[in-house]
Structure 1
Amino acid sequence: MTVSLFNPNFYRAANPDLQSFSDAQASSHFQNYGLNEGRAFSPFIDLNFYRASNSDLASFNNRQAYDHLSNYGVREGRKFSPFFDLNFYQRHNTDLPSFNNEQLFNHLENYGVEEGRRFSPLVDLKFYRSTNSDLSSFDNDQALQHLELSGLFEGRRFSPFVDLNLYACANPDIAKLGWNNLQLFEHLVGYGISEGRRFSVSFDSNYYRSYYSDLAKAGLSNTQLLEHFEDYGLNEGRASSESFHVKYYLDNNSDLKALNFNNQQAEQHFEIYGFRQGRVSSPLKQISVPVDPGSSINSAFNLGVLNGSHNLTQYVGSNDREDDYRLTLANMSNFSLTLNSNVNVQLVDVNGNTITTGSYNSSSKLKTMSLPLNSGTYYIRVYSDNGVNCNYNLSLSVTPKSSPAAVFKSTEGYGLVDAGVAVAKAIGQSAFGNVASLGGNSWENDLINTPEAWARGYTGKGVVVAVLDSGIDYNHVDLKDNIWTNSSEIAGNGKDDDGDGYIDDVYGWNFVDNNNDVSDKNGHGTHVSGTIAAENNSFGITGIAYDAKIMPVKVLNDQGSGSDTSVIQGIYYAVNHGANVINLSVGSNDADDYLQSAIQYASSKGVVVVIAAGNDSASVPSYPARYAKNWGIAVGAVDQNKNMANFCNHAGSDSLSYVTAPGVNVYSTIPGNNYAYYSGTSMATPCVAGVVALMLSANPHLSPSQVRDILIS
């Protein structure tokens, strides 16, 4: 028998341009176009994962993979999604022991998720809903759909045992690849667990196996060990990592004990709050290391993810002059080290650069170091210069630093953006040092500390910002070298060379007149573009991200008016043509579900949407800025003295990602190689879009949710 793989409801949800399609239309579109285009069609199937997990299918195109999975793959028990495991599903649902794989798949698809049954040791929909308050009313099907289409990419936790940020942090070979969360999760499922890699601060398969002789004797695989801990070990109160002993955690945190937390609640609390709060979670322990911990960074002994206090003893001398240790910090932390022997010690970063050496304290006779460190992987080198044999005791202390909570105000939201601070946070550094102000017409750059980011070499290079507006004078002398072009299109040949449905869209597209004329006869779009990326030359102005590229997308007519439909089409165009940031200096008094879906789509594809709050002196933002509660960033305007502009719509009482930026008498480009002063939240919005471009040029792997978190923190 074959199984039904296509889900029309999910297909529509995953592809907002098809939301009005009936089931029959959706099915027809999928068979004729969507399958070949690689569109998502089911919450249960990932064809890319299917090919990657089955090497004999690696050369299959989407249709071949789809047909193979439907006719053979499910029946053969092949892996088809990182989210589901049919063997696990059968083992943990005792009423299904006689089901074959096809029956299991059909049961899972039609009943299992809806009934809240367990289908993977790595995904817990109940946990997903409970830790994300905006999803508390979702049923299981809705939660699964949200996780796959949005939550995973937003970095939301979906299991008390899986932390994808930690997975990247604890595995430098993976972190340097710059993978998104889906790629990280696929690697974890396909390789990481079996390889014994760390993906949780509360569970370490190697530690769990070595700590309990019954588990070591049983010869359980790493996956089986995780299942054992979830099914039995946690309830039995077993210690599961060097950082977490559940009984010790409850015994030493009286507030949790007073709340009558059970072991499962305690583990979830530790993962979400306790570890980052630096709570006592494990007895002070002597780390057991091999006789030779390693004599280079490449062979360093892995101490794992550290939190709290740790001690180890070892030896260096004539036959073993150097010991190297590797450690991982899951959060920005205060780190200290003491060494009680006449040997040398260095702290080294993941690239092999020395951060600091231990200093000798004459009163305590110890070598010490104490400093704040960002999350990541580090190495400790202990070595003897003269070859004298020395035993040493090394004590380490790691205390995660808690960041002050950001304060939201109903007027200014989270307040004025700071480019220097934002870019520094994007790369895990402390705030950059101050540099001299530019003065003159560049007051907006000075007010938000843009030069501090420039001084470190971050100028927006490699980032594309789509400006959805009245068009752009792409021949302006201060803009022309920073205009994005569609390299797949041949200018003037009257053909749709790249097959995107738009003829000769070399410089973008005009969704007002449905042609390729994106010129600006209004001036609004050109002014916005200059604030973002005017060139750094000897005349005119300098944009916030002066090495970024501007993608022209015309959605407003020459009088500055437009429709939601044009904006929606413009968003999809920008996302599908490689924009990293979208500037929406537009607004309306009316909500539009399709516009909201378009912004959600952009966020799900890793595109940051920056939206003007509006100029009605209202107590809440206009639309679509009001959607910044969940997606995108709303921007209000301040003057040169950091006072809110009297025309600016306020943030409102409902907390959303709302920041402010310069928006009064902003000097920028207008058509005809001219310049002018404009005011409005439309002028503040490109300041923030430019800051986002700086952040992404510093760290192109930031997700939209990470960008939002940095800007409002």
Structure 2
Amino acid sequence: MNKISYLSAAALLLSSSIFAQKEEVPKNWHQLDKANTGYYGISIDKAYDFVKGKKLKSKTVVVAVIDSGIDTLHEDLKPILWTNPKEIPGNGKDDDKNGYIDDVHGWNFIGGKDGQNVKEDSYEAARVYHRLKSKFGSVVPDESSVSAADKADLIMYKKAQQKILGNADGQDDHGFEFLALKRVQTNLMASDSILKKAIGKEKFTGTELDAYEATTDDVKKAKFSLLGLMKANDALEQTNAEFMEGLNDYVAGEERKNDAKQNPPKEYRKEIVKDDESNINDRYYGNNDLMASTPFHGTHCSGIIGAVRDNGKGVNGIADNVRIMMVRAVPDGDEHDKDIANAIRYAVNNGAQIISMSFGKDFSPEKQWVDDAVRYAESKGVLLVHAAGNDAKNVDSTDNFPNANFVDGKGRANTWITVGASGDPKNGGITASFSNIGKQEVDVFAPGVQIYSTIPGGNTYGNASGTSMACPVVAGTAAFLLEYFPTLSAKQLKYVIEKTAQAPDIDVKIPGTDELTKLSTLCKTGGIVNAYEAAKLAATLKGERKASKATPVAKAKTVKKKK
């Protein structure tokens, strides 16, 4: 899953660099204007001044967020949730006859009809490796010895085997990192226990810990360890309990990866969802529980897009007249292609005009299903915005799914934007150290470091970093533009956002290194999204969007998953 991680690999290995202090930046730095404030934000207030100066009125835009869930009771999100106008809440009936019972604010494709929900799941590399191992065996055959029909599977198997068992040199780097991770976990659990006794309460925030004056050496050491990692992961607003829960979930995920070397992954999803995963036409599964047990990620992303503006609470979202449709399809682990394909189709069929997708993985065995859904979205004029990933890799040459390239070789999606994460010199640099890059595959950069937004709890807020945060910044910008320029087509939205991306006036670091370069070498546009410049260009265009019509439920060909 291409989401924020509580601890980066460098942090897990206790690199001393994680304790480097970042300057304090405004909580809304990502929305600020560079010329007026010095921060490399998206100039959203300036953009609002521009549309107000033209006396433009907004129209409501529906943004689907395909993610882990959402806090439907949050004070800054509850007013802007999409509500299905044809569904009567809680009556246990499919009032609008769309196949999904009581889908009032969206749908959960990783839940069971009995109310259970998928929380953690396996990783796609492990699923692919063990499925194809039974077909090809432990010793990978030569490509010349297999049929043309099996060649794609064999290539995928080779990649999965290398991912699971080790790198090209036969070294198991992940095994080393996992042992280091377990040591970190043990040390932090001990530090947490020491601090609870010293502070005199079971729960305290990172901010409270920062202000606490330790008086003994063991407490000072414990504070240094826990506080350092909380700061490194922008988690000062979290409690120690929340942070440790995140750490433990992360460790559990890495343990599942480590276990996959020997054992087939547990089928978490199958035991709960109970659909026929091999059949893309079996699509009416899941439940309407959007909060489930993992709403942090989706709640944070949704707030970035559209948390109620100027209500005196928490944060201002980027767009001021949106409705957020949550489509839950992303577990703590890797999402399944079938769920993503159906999530995209559900969003389109229920009126989403923009889809925000902050997830990703290294393998996509049923990419054709996802591609078909993307083509469907494009045919209905829907803009898809996707996070580039957090591995500091070049996705021009390494796999990152889903992506705009169709697996059948017939072109690429024309209403798709891939987003890298930017920061500011005051919080680590213009390019986020974790962000994936790609001159061909990453379209633009957008703020994704220390982004302050809504988090679960009803009235709570906090920072998070990742291309997962940069993606909804772009989706929110697109929603703002469509609100005030409602005749713009999805292709025009993509054009306006990319054409007006602003090149930073300084060189940037190649993520994962100290090497400097121009941003133009790291992404297609060489720029950071800017809402003001985009609005100015949008105002000059003649819109191409066709009048909206009722969207029929899509039909899909029956395709059986390979065994």
Q: TM-score, normalised by structure 2?
A: 0.47
Name the structure, 1 or 2, with higher relative contact order (CA <8 Å, separation 6+).
2
Please identify which structure carries the higher strand content: 1
Please, what TM-score do these two structures have when normalized by structure 1?
Answer: 0.37
Structure having the higher Rg: 1
